[in-house]
Structure 1
Amino acid sequence: MGERNEARERFANLCAFNKLVIGGTIFPHTRIHKATWISPDHTTENQIDHICINKTFRRTLEDVRTRRGADVASDHHLVVANLKLKLKKNWTSVQTALQRFNTAFLRDTDKLNEFKIALNNRFQALHNLLKEEETIVWSTTGKASRKH
């Protein structure tokens, strides 16, 4: 491959200043898949095009190579990188996940009886709704609904 010139030095300094990592030279490939530019007479090959990526995502870079058959209207070959992104789950807040019930008030017998009555009323309302639905189904179809 070719030698480093002033433009490549400036590019390396720019990447170092902005905490970017240069990819493309660390992956083992054949010589033809590393060269990004080939001279018109096909005697000189250089790797003059690179990929730069944020330093925090450098572990996601899996492979960098050139695609020689791409029609990009240039004397350079297309440089392609494979990335493997790792997405994190979006966790809800801890307070909603660890919601605790206050059971201390159930030790008082009066409050315990009130709670039982309220709970029975709720279940009775659900039971009544179910009975209503069953009678509607019975009246419309003429058959009792069966659960399979």
Structure 2
Amino acid sequence: MRRYNLEVLDISETHWTQVGQQRLTSGELLLYSGHEEENAPHTQGVALMLSKQAQNAFTGWGSHEPRIVKAPLKTKEDDAKNQFYNRLQSIIEKWPTKDLTILMGDFNAKVGTDNTGYEDIMGRQGLGERNENGDRFVNLCAFNKLVIGGTIFPHKRIQKTT
């Protein structure tokens, strides 16, 4: 984090189980979430690392089941995708509107470069053509007035994908 001067780091595809937080010896705070059962598969985990500075603005967090932190793959059935986005929408609706909302993680979405009709929530610096998960993600962001930050400023091509 220090090398790239990051205050907040989103970590996808962790293999940790359960939910917790840990303060590292370097001072960063690590928040993690995976399957709640200890003997569950070591998949679908995510973590968030906060610098000392970011911790000053941090008021709390909660975990919302492991799958809510990672969108279903494009090959999954529409029911799984609809379930994911409906659950995500219900969580967003519970957040106080005065709070800053930041969605981070692996949405398996490609939003593309065409922002026609979505100029208020995305730029033209996406990658390629929008896919089905990209449509779902763009619509979720538009409905909730969330900006897709990775599309606003130019990036090297290698930095546009995970």
TM-score, normalising length from structure 1?
Answer: 0.23
Bigger CA radius of gyration: 1
Query: Greater helix percent: which structure?
Result: 1
Structure-2-length-normalised TM-score: 0.22
